[in-house]
Amino acid sequence: MTIEELFAADGPIAAAFPGYTPRAQQVAMAQAVEHAIRQRGRLIAEAGTGTGKTFAYLVPALMSGGKVIVSTGTKTLQDQLYARDLPLVRDLLKVPVTIALLKGRANYVCHYHLERARHEGRFLRREDIAGLQQVERYARLTQSGDKAGCTGVAEDAPIWAHVTSTRDNCLGSDCPHHKDCFVLKARKEAQEADVVVVNHHLFFADVWLRDEGAGELLPACNTVIFDEAHQLPEVASLFFGETITSGQLVELARDARAEALVIAKDYVRLPQASEALEKAVRDFRLAFRPEPARLPQNELATKFKEYEARLAELGDKLAALEGELAAQAERAEELQKCHERATALREVLAKWQGGDDEEAVHWIDITPHGFMLHATPLNIAKLFQRQLNSGQRAWVFASATLAVNGQFTHFQHELGLWEAETATWDSPFDYKQQAVLYVPRDMPEANAPGFTAKVIERAWPLLELTQGHAFLLFTSLRAMREAHELVTQKLKDAKLDWPVLLQGQGSRTELLDKFRRSPNAILVASQTFWEGIDVKGEQLSLVVIDKLPFSPPDDPVLSARIGQMQKSGRNAFVDYQLPHAAITLKQGAGRLIRDERDTGILMIGDTRLVDKPYGKLLWKSLPPMFRSRELDTVKRFFEVKRQHGRPQDDQQTGPAPAEKD
């Protein structure tokens, strides 16, 4: 059966979905994916919201008969593909393919660490003890060991760190529970399956870098499909670089101490060295300002007077622990593993101390309670291309946001995909009739004092109009928190008891569930909620974005890349910063219209979108919404839609000045 027949009005897909109507964009994308698979080619495919891109790549992938890896940007989509979409397509096509889900090892219960946590009895909080008991019950019943199946324990509960393994503390074949290991079972199923669903982080860590022993997947694979492919450059930069974290160092110290107390009780210098390293980690963090920051290594010595001394102490204490572990490593495999970890961490730390080179920037990410030391490559295209050329297979890169004003140059340049076929299919939604883009007049400059207050002032009439049902999205955490206070006060003054949800007051899943359930809800968030969120219907009628999402120019990686591009004679703003902002803005705007029956308002408070010459490229990259700078016009558009359904033409809402641009 051909692609056209499968997606036809009388085909098997239509039979499975009452009310189904064929979409030309979906058929065209499926044909392009089919061609790429057949030719072992490379395809970059942008499909607008509502195209049905998941089925458009799954149908030809399952029809191909070869081994397929599907990689997603989020575990949410990964679970959806495995549990719902793939079984559905397999049944529709009646093809005998096997499907496997593979996640990183931190997602699987570890029998060894679970047993150790139970015997050590270190937990004081009632929630941790209850969580441990629930995980124990789950481990006895589950076939997969996937923590997502343990519904009684939150995904971010502290207990998970004690009952799962890492690459560093896994005992491998020396583990007493090796035969029952959930990670090994998942890997075996993945190696034997026809279709394997992973996420981008695991793909790079396991399949390309072969860090965790799953390097067998890629050589046997005929097709790799990346959904949410716009995330790849950032994820690839992370995995092609090197990172050492305070968490890794503290975990090494605690594991070494715990093993010493069991295996080497007579050797007091080992727990002493462990405690000294833990103290050095804390002292190093205290050398910096309390609030989180991202700073280049070459500025640290001048900004923080204790930095160099604390860094030297950290290196000394790590080396000292490595030496004590070496002296005891022969006594047990557990101590040998700790010694290997200490050596690897010391080598990475020494390289980081060496400073920037032409290929990478060294920087620190200071978190509220710890730190991460990164060496990030400035150009991943060569590294990525080397992997692409390692075998004959098809590569498909799919997303709703890859092109900038119809061009894929930015994405191709970042990943070295110059020879790839490119195609874009517009959304089937009628954005002109479903949504209005509003850029208020008389806004201060985006970096002016009082800007956030003015954004909320301009958004308030819209919040009253839509009765809440809004996402307020900000480009910084500081602006997000200020906006939350302002909105809460306005609701109080207006005597309105609408729920206001704030990013950080619960997991993303919990906040979304509350938002979907709560009438008149307002969600105030930062960039965590700019993508991967799907709220259909009237529950989300307004999206407010405060500023154009340009990355801060003092970001150490961006600053180094700008410098490198300027040296080579390229315009960093035009070639990198502007396209990156356009893709991010398109992601945020994409939260509004998720269904052909949706309607709503997108407000962007940054007048650079209209006033600056480059603004045209940004709004042309957005869905083709009706545009206006007049509040009355925006109100009329929304009221007409709410009362009479979709407006029939622009005359119903009056002319919009921005429409002439």
pLDDT digits (tens, 9 = 90+) for 522-564: 999 998 898 888 899 999 999 999 999 998 878 899 999 899 8
Is the domain of 364 the same as that of 393?
no
Q: What is the structure's pLDDT at 214?
A: 52
Q: How far is 29 from 53, CA to CA, in rounded Å?
A: 7
Taking the CA of residue 394 as centre, how many other CA atoms within 13 Å lie in the half-sphere pointing to its CB? 26
Is the domain of 37 the same as that of 116?
no
Does the pLDDT at position 3 exceed 90? Answer: yes
Let me know if residue 145 belongs to a domain.
Answer: yes
Helix or strand run (H / E) with residue 362:
strand 360-366
Residue 181 near residue 115, CB atoms below 8 Å: no
DSSP string, 287-344: TS-SS-EEEEGGGHHHH-TTHHHHHHHHHHHHHHHHHHHHHHGGG-HHHHHHHHHHHH
Is the domain of 35 the same as that of 50?
yes
Residue 398's Cβ-count burial label (10 Å; 0-12, 13-18, 19+) is buried
The percent helix, strand, coil of the chain (3-state, each to 5) is 50, 15, 35
Let me know if residue 321 belongs to a domain.
Answer: yes
Let me know if residue 649 belongs to a domain.
Answer: yes
Q: Are strands 99-101 and 195-199 parallel, antiparallel or unpaired?
A: parallel
Let me know if residue 537 belongs to a domain.
Answer: yes
Q: How far is 110 from 132, CA to CA, in rounded Å?
A: 12
Q: How far is 596 from 184, CA to CA, in rounded Å?
A: 44
Let me know if residue 136 belongs to a domain.
Answer: yes
Helices (H), 17-93: 24-39, 53-63, 75-80, 86-93
Residue the block writes with tokens 């030719």:
39
Average pLDDT, the chain: 90
Residue 378 near residue 413, CB atoms below 8 Å: no
Name the pLDDT band for 654 (thresholds 50, 70, 90).
Answer: very low
Is the domain of 490 the same as that of 607?
yes
Helix or strand run (H / E) with residue 196:
strand 195-199
CATH code of residue 654: 3.40.50.300
Q: How far is 235 from 232, CA to CA, in rounded Å?
A: 5
Triad 175, 178, 180: Cα angle to 5°: 140
Q: How far is 410 from 87, CA to CA, in rounded Å?
A: 35
Total domains in the fold of the chain:
4
Domain C-terminal end among 388, 403, 425: 425
Let me know if residue 179 belongs to a domain.
Answer: no
CATH code of residue 315: 1.20.1440
* Phi then psi dihedrals of residue 560, to 5 deg: -65, -40
pLDDT digits (tens, 9 = 90+) for 368-404: 889 999 999 988 898 888 878 877 899 999 999 999 9
Identity of the residue numbered 196: V
Identity of the residue numbered 574: V
Q: Which residues contact 81 (CB under 8 A, 6 or more apart)?
A: 54, 58, 70, 72, 197, 227
Is the domain of 459 the same as that of 449?
yes
Look at the pTM and tell me if it is higher than 0.85: yes
Is the domain of 69 the same as that of 194?
yes
Of residues 17 and 86, the one with the higher pLDDT is 86
Is the domain of 136 the same as that of 212?
no
Does the pLDDT at position 659 exceed 50? Answer: no
State mean pLDDT over 325-332.
92
Residue 546's Cβ-count burial label (10 Å; 0-12, 13-18, 19+) is buried
Let me know if residue 387 belongs to a domain.
Answer: yes
> What whole-number percentage of the chain has pLDDT above 70?
96
* Phi then psi dihedrals of residue 507, to 5 deg: -70, 165
Is the domain of 442 the same as that of 494?
yes
State which residues form the domain around 199: 3-104+184-239+379-425
Name the pLDDT band for 645 (thresholds 50, 70, 90).
Answer: low
The tokens describing 454, both together, are 């003015």
Is the domain of 81 the same as that of 215?
yes
Q: What is the structure's pLDDT at 209?
A: 61
Does the pLDDT at position 119 exceed 90? Answer: no
Helix or strand run (H / E) with residue 282:
helix 269-286
Does the pLDDT at position 210 exceed 70? Answer: no
CA 627 to chain centre: 30
Let me know if residue 170 belongs to a domain.
Answer: no
Is the domain of 11 the same as that of 139?
no
Considering only 52-56, 344-348, 517-521, 562-566, which range has the smallest mean pLDDT? 562-566
Q: How far is 285 from 272, CA to CA, in rounded Å?
A: 20
Q: How far is 45 from 106, CA to CA, in rounded Å?
A: 32
Is the domain of 126 the same as that of 62?
no
Q: Left, alpha or beta for 8 (phi > 0: left; psi -120 to 50: alpha)?
A: beta
Is the domain of 350 the same as that of 456?
no
Does the pLDDT at position 649 exceed 50? Answer: no
